[in-house]
Structure formats: C-alpha cells, structure tokens
Amino acid sequence: MIEATGIKEIIKPENLVYRKTKIMTDNILSYCPGCGHGTTHRILAEVIDEEDLQSQTIGVSPVGCSVLLYNYIDVDIQEAAHGRAPAVATAIKRLLPDKFVFTYQGDGDLAAIGTAETIHACNRGENILIIFINNGIYGMTGGQMAPTTLPGMKSSTSPYGRDVKTMGYPLKMTDIVATLPGTYYVTRQSVNTPANVKKTKKAIRKAVQYQKLDKGTCFIEIVSNCPSGWKMTPVQSNKWMEENMFPYYPLGDLKIPEK
Amino acid sequence: MKKELRLMKGNEAVAEAAIRAGADGYFGYPITPQSEILEYLMEANPAETTGMVVLQAESEVAAINMVYGGAACGKKVMTSSSSPGISLKQEGITYIAGAELPCLIVNVVRGGPGLGTIQPAQSDYFQSVKGGGHGDYHLIVLAPASVQEMADFVDLSFELAFKYRNPVLMLSDGAIGQMMEKVYLSPQKERSKVFPDWATTGKPATRERNIITSLDLDPNGMEMHNHKLQAKYNEIREKEVRYEEFQCEDAEYLLVAYGTSARVCQKAVLLLREEGIKVGLLRPITLFPFPTKRINELAGQVKGILSVEMSAGQMVEDVLLAVNGKVPVKHFGRMGGIVTTPEEVVENLKSKIIGG
C-alpha cells in the first residue's frame, strides 16, 4: 500500500518535519481527512511511549470507526463486541491488575448499546481508562443519529433534524458517570486546536498516573468532529463543532481528585 | 493425593471444582436454577486462597464479555447461567468462538421458550450444538448426568478449551444442578503462571503485538478463517467423541439419551429387561462432537431406536442423521420443565418402536 501511493519517495530524512511516534504502526489510517480519531490515536500512543508502557498496555477497541484501532497502535489489543468494551476491560484489569488497560469507544458504542456496561464499570470503580469519542453521530455505518446527536441536527436517520419529542434528548454520559462514586477523574476535552490537543494529552497522562495508583475509573470524553457524517469540510466541521457541540458539551473537568 | 468425598448440589460441585481446577476467573449473574454457583463462589471467596477472581456482573451480556476479556488474556475463565441467560450470552459466545478463545460456559437448562419455567428441561440442544449465535461455529458440548460429572467436567472443559482454543459448554439441567449426590473432589491445582503465546498480556519487545479479534473485513481472509475453524471442528469430531453404553452388547432396541434423561432411561432399560425385552442405552457425553459413528454401528445391530430428551425432539435429528435410514428412529420426551418417567419411556418404546 505504501509503495502504491508513492509515499516512500517522499519519506527521506531531508524532508522530515514531523516524526511518527514509535507506538504508531506504519499502517495508513482509515479515518477521513480532518477526523479527530487520528490525532487522538497519536497522543494516546505518545503517552504510552513516553510513559514506557508499551509492554504494560492492553487496549480494547470498540465497534465503530475505531474498530481497527489495533491496526494503528502497537500494543496488545482486544476487539470487543459493540458496546461491551468496559466489561471486557473489567476482566482484563481484574486478572492483570498491574497492566495499563484502556477502552476507546465512540458515542454509539458507549452511550447507546453499551450504556449498561459503561455505567456499571464506572460504578464498580474499575481501575481502567475509558476514552470516549463523541462526534454526535454513527460514523462508520454512514452517519445515523446517535444518542449524542444535538437537537435539530440532521443525520441519515433524522433527515429533518433530531426531534427531541420523538427521538429523545442528547445523552450526556460524561455528566452521568461523574456523579458515580466509582469514577475518580472525569473530563471533557477536544483535539480541535494545538492547545486542546495538549490539554487532552495531559488528561490521558493524568489518567495513566491515577491508574497506577489504583484510584478507580478515569473517563475522558473527547468532543470530536465527523466531517463525512456531518457532510462538511474539515474546517467547516471544526467550526460547527465549536459553535454547536461545545455549548452543549462544554469542555473542562467534571470531576477531579480531591486535594 | 486422595480425593475428598462430599455431599453437594451439582451447582455447588461446579463452583468447588472451578476453584480446585485453578480457574482464574468466574463472571456470573443470578438466574434460577443455577444461582448457587455464584453464591458458592462468593462465600468460598477464592480471592483469598487461590487468587481466583469472582465477579457479579450487571447482566449476562456483561458477564460473557468479561469472559471474552479474561480468556483473551490467556486465563482460565468461566461463566454460568440458565437458558434465558444463555440466550443473552449468545452474542458474546459467537465472538469468543470467532476469536478462538478458550473458556467454560455452564448452562443449567430450564424449560422454555421465553421466560418459561425454572424446572429442568433439555430444550436448548439445538442452541448448544448447532452454534447458538450467528455464523458457522461450534462449541464443544459436554453433558453431565451426575453431580460427579458436573465436577469432573470443569477440569476436562478447561483442558479441551485450551487444547483447541475453543469455548466449551457444559449442558446440564435444573435437575442435576439442584440435586445432591456424593462427589469425589480432585485436589487443588495451582493456577497457571504461564500464558499462551497468543494472549494479550502486554507486548514485550521480543514479539509482535497480539490482537484478539473476530473481524476481518477482507472476505478472502474471513473465508480462510472459516476454513481453519471447520478444520478444527473436524479434528474435534475425530478425536473427542465421548459416550457411555449401558447393556448394549445384546440389545435389540436402543435408547439414546443424555443428562437427566439418560438416568431415567437407565431405569427404563432395567424395567424392560425384566420383561425380557433386550434394550440398551447409549448416553452421549459429548453432544458436539456427537457419537454419530457409534450410533450408526448400533443401528446395524438393533431393530429400532428411541431418542429420549426433555424437549419436543431436538437431539433426535442428529440420531436420524447418524442412523441414516437403517432402522426406525422416534423421539419421546416431556416438555416445559417436566421430567420424563421410566414408565413413560417403557410405554413409548413399546408403542413407537416395538409395536410401531
């Protein structure tokens, strides 16, 4: 695939302006241009690398756009059934308590079909990191309405906009899990700007530290865009996210450890 | 070491045998008539002795996915449930089969369909031996007929599960799970400290990363994977058939029954032989792989076969395939949680096979 695209011709030391982190594989990402998944994968991989956790990490990938996470991050990974990643991760961490265990889930996976697994893993205070990518839509299946789709927002299964009277309200899972005693660190971030990328990376690093200290569930929501599903250019989608998603899903910490 | 003799329920025997087999984890959810397994393990608290993890999940769905996670770490893990709960687990079971993970699933069957009843039944045969979830796959299915076998089959299940990287289902029923019998318990085994090379335990610099998945978006790859699975199932069919014969040597008629029905049929054989009717019993111990070859051989010896199962007639289809038209084959069984009596078996053999 690399040969076919001619990328190898360009990859020369004299052309290097940006280096791939070691923990990312050479596989070409399947994500659409402008999507937040690639950036999130990258900073997660950076933290695993910088904390020297490659040999200690077991990840759980979901069903959805990031189902192929295991092709991109060079750690041991289990691919879970739709929504079940927190249950899968529960057993991994209980049986291998010294390992760093994370799940990586989208909004359909975590906030619809996996609601029970998510809430109960958080309620038991499983000592895992849950990374929750919220782009308000089912990306992989072609842009259907998600539990997190905003009121009035159009999708392929809410073509006239989400009518909350018949389709319900956007579910704020992060707010819900923050109320549970089992969660230790709950935050909502984004990767739309370099500053926010840094903040998100810092949040992942904190979660790694808390997991080492056996503190309970760490939950990081990353409000993301979906240019393809939203039918926008990457730039438009970031602007739309800032103007529409952020007011409904405000960025910042929802629960931080008591000093 | 000498085996320890105890009086136990089948469900308790499974739980105690799991601890002694050196199981690493049990993940369950309450449902009658199997809740004693989870209760026993919680009370025994093996976390303090062997280090075994016991967790009450939020649902059967979560429990089977915990099994997936634990099995993918190369650990000896198990779950148990009863019919409606096993239906809920089918999604997880097909993923486990697809990802080729070893584990033990115990089904203490109750009558159905739907919420059904809490009384014993054998109406989950198709679900157990033909797959149960979506896709082409098989579980190895063991059918205990006593409390002793519920205990013994735990260790055997783990052995087979790891040998073939395949889930094993112990297909019990509400009678064997609930009844008390004497049972000889094996000595405590150490929990394994070595893990299979495919397990996700954290990637050291010395190997490639391990990926556990049932997904392959390339249909050619997926077809290859299916061929690999089918080759494995064929090997299991060749090597792992287990059954027991009772008075088959001179039999002119044959009963085929597993689990509770086999116990009932054993009595029926004695009653019929008192009348001078030469009847034998073949008890399949593995339902997948099914003792097809042996039943076919016996079909050359007997005049007719009655398949007895507490169902509307599920196993009889496999008996018919095995017999392949050689002799008449009929089914008899009570349904909905009613246990067949030996007298009913006698009567039905006479009316459906001997006089039929």
C-alpha pair distances (Å), A139 with each of A37, A226, B269, B326:
11, 7, 62, 57
Same domain assignment for residues B290 and B344? yes
pLDDT band at A4 (very low <50, low <70, confident <90, very high): low
pLDDT digits (tens, 9 = 90+) for A137-149: 999 999 999 999 9
Q: How many distinct structural domains can be found in chain A?
A: 1
pLDDT score of A219 more than 60: yes
DSSP label of A149: P
Specify the pTM.
0.96
Contact (CB<8Å) B202/A74: no
Best residue in A84, A104, A140 to probe B by mutation, most B CBs within 10 Å?
A: A84
pLDDT score of A8 more than 90: no
pLDDT score of A2 more than 60: no
Same domain assignment for residues B148 and B253? no
Among residues of chain B, what percentage have pLDDT more than 70? 99
With contact defined as beta carbons under 8 Å apart, do A208 and A162 qualify? no
Same domain assignment for residues B262 and B277? yes
Q: Does B216 fall in a domain?
A: no
Nearest to B209 among A56, A77, A91 (CB): A77
What is the reported pLDDT for B1?
62
Chain B residue at shortest CA distance from A58: B202
pLDDT digits (tens, 9 = 90+) for A142-186: 999 999 999 999 999 999 999 999 999 999 999 999 999 999 999
* B123, two tokens: 């109406």
Q: Does A16 fall in a domain?
A: no
pLDDT band at A3 (very low <50, low <70, confident <90, very high): low
With contact defined as beta carbons under 8 Å apart, do A82 and A62 qualify? yes
Q: Does A24 fall in a domain?
A: no
pLDDT band at A9 (very low <50, low <70, confident <90, very high): confident
Q: What is the ipTM of this complex?
A: 0.96
In this structure, which amino acid lies at residue B219? P
Q: What is the CATH number of the domain that holds A227?
A: 3.40.50.970
What is the reported pLDDT for A12?
82
Same domain assignment for residues B164 and B255? no
pLDDT score of A192 more than 90: yes
Residue B298 sits at φ, ψ, to 5 deg, of -65, -30
Rounded to a whole number of angstroms, the distance from the CA of B256 to the nearest CA of chain A is 38
Chain B window 186-205: which residues touch A at a Cβ cutoff of 8 Å?
Answer: 200-205
Q: How many distinct structural domains can be found in chain B?
A: 2
pLDDT digits (tens, 9 = 90+) for B44-102: 999 999 999 999 999 999 999 999 999 999 999 999 999 999 999 999 999 999 999 99
Residue B306's domain comprises: 243-354
Q: What is the CATH number of the domain that holds B91?
A: 3.40.50.970
Q: What is the mean pLDDT of residues B147-166?
A: 98
Partners of B33 in the beta sheet?
Answer: none
pLDDT digits (tens, 9 = 90+) for B274-330: 999 999 999 999 999 999 999 999 999 999 999 999 999 999 999 999 999 999 999
Residues sharing a CB contact under 8 Å with residue B308, sequence separation 6 or more, in sequence order: B255, B256, B257, B261, B264, B265, B268, B331, B332, B333, B340, B345, B348
Q: Does B214 fall in a domain?
A: no
Q: Does A29 fall in a domain?
A: no
Q: What is the CATH number of the domain that holds B273?
A: 3.40.50.920
Q: Does B63 fall in a domain?
A: yes
Q: Does B212 fall in a domain?
A: no
Same domain assignment for residues B139 and B27? yes
Q: Does A60 fall in a domain?
A: yes
Same domain assignment for residues B184 and B297? no
Q: Does B215 fall in a domain?
A: no
